[in-house]
Structure 1
């Protein structure tokens, strides 16, 4: 019949369905292309592995046959490489901008551009700031002013000051110094001793709102935490001096500006730092409580270098401790099974 000769609609298959591969349940799907790529990668790694394994086997056999020579050779080679590295491209970096600033970064690029000739900005002077205090106690008076004069005199008499400051003024050979000594013309200590005989006279002179040359005074630049008579108005420079007297201050500031010439400024800064530290030690020994704090443009680098130099002996101590630990841990009372020298060699290699 016609119904028997015509195929059922459910048994009809499209051309796409006929082309699709048939899978039996439980049969794994194999990606032929991925398998070929994996095989090529495996062959490549095996090819690289063969010389490495041969070299490792050779080193292992040599080390087992000549253990003492191997350890001595490793230690000697490590020390040789260290010496060669320090003698060629080794550099102790202490610049804070390089150590702590991400490089390259936008602030570094901006700083480099500002410092370049293209920007047109003048090179800023090298600042030196000295702080004189008594651990928070009041410093106003003759004694404090005298010690500020000691600091200023030390700054002006340190070797190299005249040659360096000639870049500012080739006649006077003086650099700008801002401190309470400017209340007397030219930081004149003799004039200070002639005019000031008591603490009250010293406070009266240092409470002026203008320096000896008529320049307005900015008290926060020469005093730390100055406390004036709060009942008076300090905005009028024509007020009588009695109305603007200082009641107390916790420190004196000495601000020095050096020409931006590192070749001349850095040696002077180093000599000045050493001289001020000597004066600091002298005052600390006299028991009066006066303390000098110093900050220069090279202070960070100097302190970091000094810290590294002082920590170098710790490397020797660390080597002894680590070497002893490895020798005790890996060592045995057997000339073959003992691995004490191996542990010491590993420590030398790491250091």
Structure 2
């Protein structure tokens, strides 16, 4: 066949997508023919294959306007049907001379190529949809993370004002009722500050190069951990905390980040354990590794929740009083990674234990 084309055929257009022209028919990719002058327009309506070996001897097409207009004697056109059933166009071919086209081999080959073209078009469409969806998801994620960063930054100033005012009131007033209210304000400020820190770290980690750390050689980790415990017990004075520290070997870490990580773990242990339970904290260091374990009795973490426990905005089953952003464990895990270590969890009906392991140097 001297000329072949993949044609896009709609209700008002016939446009070439790809062309093989050995007879100088004159069409290039993007060229158009008057729709009404083509047999493809008829195929668009009935979706059937049209094959002509010799126009002059064909009863149906001997006097058809299309062969007379374009001067061909042999013709084949196969509809291209997309996966969703939509008619795309045709794979067609013509030649000025007669040809033996009405046989299983030729018609089968054209049908196969038409199916391959339809498959390719479907794949391209799916890729385009996927890319569009991915772009929207990226834009949504970027917007969310930027919003978190801005919100966290803007919340700090009024929160600092509230915290400072509470401290000033505590010094000025000695009435029991006022002191109770001041304690509530201070506790709420402490919790809000932790949420803001997590939001900012999450946004920084996702928008930048991850959570940054500044190591201090021979960091006094026992003092770092004790300070966090004292802060937590000031908020929850009735909670029982048992410690077992053996950190005789020096450790090079970012003390503030370890305190932040430990605060998240200890806060979770207090939140998710019975009020009369004892929380056990063990810490040890060797020449090679520092380990910290926070264990508490309570309900076992469900397997489904375990799989996504360290993912952002993910939390286990919570009571109304246990609401949060679901960022604490994600931030803690990222801090562990920034130190070249990891954070793991084990949970059963007896207790849940979060374990931090990082290199000592």
TM-score (structure 2 length as normaliser): 0.23
The answer to which structure, 1 or 2, has the higher relative contact order (CA under 8 A, 6+ apart) is 1
Greater strand share, 1 or 2?
A: 2
TM-score (structure 1 length as normaliser): 0.24
Greater helix share, 1 or 2?
A: 1
In our comparison, the structure showing a higher alpha carbon Rg is: 1
